[in-house]
Amino acid sequence: MNYPNGKKGDVSSSNRKRPSSKPDFSNRGMTLEEDINQTNKAYLTLNRAVIHKKPTPVQIVNVDFPKRSAAVIKEAYFKQASTTDYNGIYKGRYIDFEAKETKNKTSFPLANIHKHQIDHMKQVCEHNGICFLIIRFTTLEETYLLPAEKLFPYWERQKDGGRKSIPYQEIVTHGYIIPLKFKIRVDYLQVLDDLYF
């Protein structure tokens, strides 16, 4: 495997390597969302960062208010999110990201991301927030952090009729592998520390 030339701001190459031996504890069955929620909970407990997943946006149409018990939503629909799923604060900086997993082994399909999410990410970058994508290749058992600035050119290219996915190898090149750990399952702050702090 080739490594890109060490650009300024890149994390150490050891961080970028695919783990040569898989950890003992099997993480199969946990979704990326569950892993990130557990990670954020650990960060909160350790007082390292305050980052939460936003609730799923739902359009409520009909609510029943039975006597002496809680209101029941009887009819509602899933709405498309207008922002990313996760945000919060780390070392005084605004953090904002979206997390996606794919079974695909050779590329990440851009259909996973919506236009208004890209618009939101661009706004966050403009206002000096730290914005990125966490991509898990579930079959390969690898999770990458891809800075939003590296995502935008691929998005523009497909908008102009180009390739509708990011090749795996380019995510390896432009992204940063997130170490899989036991207590902090997706330790993305470690990558941010190397990149921004």
Q: Which residues bind its own copies (CB under 8 A)?
A: 44, 47, 49-50, 52, 54-58, 60, 70-79, 82-83, 87-94, 96, 120, 123-124, 126-129
Nearer to its own copies (CB atom), residue 122 or residue 157: 122
User: In this structure, is the dihedral angle defined by the CA atoms of residues 50, 83, 181 and 170, taken in order, positive or negative?
Assistant: negative
Known binding residue 169? Answer is no
Nearer to its own copies (CB atom), residue 2 or residue 47: 47
Element holding 143 (H helix, E strand) = strand 142-147
β-bridge partners, 87: 52, 96
Smallest separation (angstroms) from its own copies to the CB of 48 = 9
Cα–Cα distance between 183 and 185 in angstroms, integer? 6
β-bridge partners, 132: 97, 147
Tokens for 4?
């890109």
**Contact, 147 vs 173, CB < 8 A?**
no
DSSP conformation class of 139: T
Known binding residue 85? Answer is yes
Smallest separation (angstroms) from its own copies to the CB of 103 = 21
Nearer to its own copies (CB atom), residue 71 or residue 111: 71
Smallest separation (angstroms) from its own copies to the CB of 14 = 28
Nearer to its own copies (CB atom), residue 11 or residue 44: 44
Smallest separation (angstroms) from its own copies to the CB of 52 = 5
**Contact, 96 vs 86, CB < 8 A?**
yes
Annotated binding site for Mg(2+): 83, 85, 98, 117
